[in-house]
Amino acid sequence: MLNGEPMKIAVVAPSCTLSREAADRLLALVAERGDCEVAVHPQCFLSDGHFAGPDDARLSALREVMADSSVDAVWFARGGYGSNRIAEALVSSLPDEARSKVYLGYSDAGFLHAGLHKADLKVAWGPMPQDLMREGGRGAVTRALDWLVQGDQAALEPQLEGPPMAFNLTVLAALLGTVLEPDFSGVDLLIEDVSEHHYRIDRTMFHVTGSPNVRRAARLRLGRVGDIPSNDPDFGRDEVAIVREWCERSGIAYGGRADIGHDVLNRVVPFTR
């Protein structure tokens, strides 16, 4: 509740299309809660090849909700791929109204997180509406809302030693050297990834830990790494061993794996300074 008004959350899709069923489940969940309003932007259901509409449509929907002074939070509908295509244009001109909001999402949305955080906006890594379609998704989305609407600290990733950031490993790698690249100095850096072969994780860890910027992080922790495709021959070591080895080789403190039994995708990591 803000000034007696329920929090207003706008959902837009800067990457891939939100499913109608996920949107319906979200609206039902929000109606049950009664502590916030959610507006799912029609752009979420556009489709243009891989994307939720052409770059222009995704960018203008995002700009629209960012400029709307009645919106308290902008929630990215889902990941996939595509927010990088509009991130640089987005941050090149930000409306003043954008600064009072919180931006929530994960995975591909990391391109926006990087750019918006760099522009001093409030971003957080956390569950997204499309997660309602997967197992445990209702719990995850509920936690996201508990944090957004009520500031529930139980929704946070445990053991954060600020300032924290969280990124999909592949997205983090693709940020290096671009204008969106964050400053990792002193950052408690959580990484996760999905659907990447072990050899790709190894190659990306080589890349990421070869960056002098990433080497300035306070520590690196490994979150959820899921859906690893099998490889022939077997890579010979798992993702924990891979991440630990590259941290050791590059002098980055390895903070261990986030607790077994929870899923980093399901918790909130607010980027703070």
- 233 lies in the site for a copy of itself, by CB under 8 A: yes
- 167 lies in the site for a copy of itself, by CB under 8 A: no
Cβ atoms 258, 190 nearer than 8 A: yes
- 84 lies in the site for a copy of itself, by CB under 8 A: yes
Cα separations (Å) of 174 from 30, 114, 145, 206?
Answer: 35, 11, 29, 13
Question: Which one, 100 or 195, has the nearer CB to a copy of itself?
Answer: 195
Tell me the β-bridge partners of 226: 194
Cα separations (Å) of 77 from 90, 125, 212?
Answer: 17, 13, 33
Tell me the β-bridge partners of 122: 102
Q: Which helix (H) or strand (E) holds 26?
A: helix 20-33
Question: Which one, 142 or 170, has the nearer CB to a copy of itself?
Answer: 170
Give the C-alpha separation, 13 to 23, whole Å.
Answer: 12
Which tokens is 69 given? 């002074």
Q: Residue 145 carries which DSSP code?
A: H
- 236 lies in the site for a copy of itself, by CB under 8 A: yes
Instruction: Report, in Å, the least distance between residue 143 CB and a copy of itself.
Output: 29
Question: Which one, 7 or 86, has the nearer CB to a copy of itself?
Answer: 86
Half-sphere exposure of 104 (CA within 13 A, CB side): 29
Tell me the β-bridge partners of 26: none
Give the C-alpha separation, 5 to 15, whole Å.
Answer: 30
Question: Which one, 16 or 265, has the nearer CB to a copy of itself?
Answer: 16
- 178 lies in the site for a copy of itself, by CB under 8 A: yes
- 231 lies in the site for a copy of itself, by CB under 8 A: yes
Secondary structure of residue 257 in the 3-state scheme: strand
Among 234, 251, 260, 273, binds a copy of itself (CB under 8 A): 234
Q: Would you give the binding string for a copy of itself spanning residues 28-57, x where CB under 8 A is met?
A: -------------------xxxxx------
Q: Would you give the binding string for a copy of itself spanning residues 181-220, x where CB under 8 A is met?
A: -----------------xx--xxx-xx--xxxx-------
- 235 lies in the site for a copy of itself, by CB under 8 A: yes
Instruction: Report, in Å, the least distance between residue 91 CB and a copy of itself.
Output: 13
- 20 lies in the site for a copy of itself, by CB under 8 A: no
Question: Which one, 139 or 210, has the nearer CB to a copy of itself?
Answer: 210
Which tokens is 5 given? 């008004």
Residue given tokens 């001093």 in the structure block = 120
Nearest partner of 212 among 238, 179, 185, judged by Cα: 185
Instruction: Report, in Å, the least distance between residue 267 CB and a copy of itself.
Output: 25
Q: Please give the residue ranges that form the binding site for a copy of itself (CB under 8 A).
A: 47-51, 81-82, 84-85, 170, 173-180, 198-199, 202-204, 206-207, 210-213, 231, 233-237
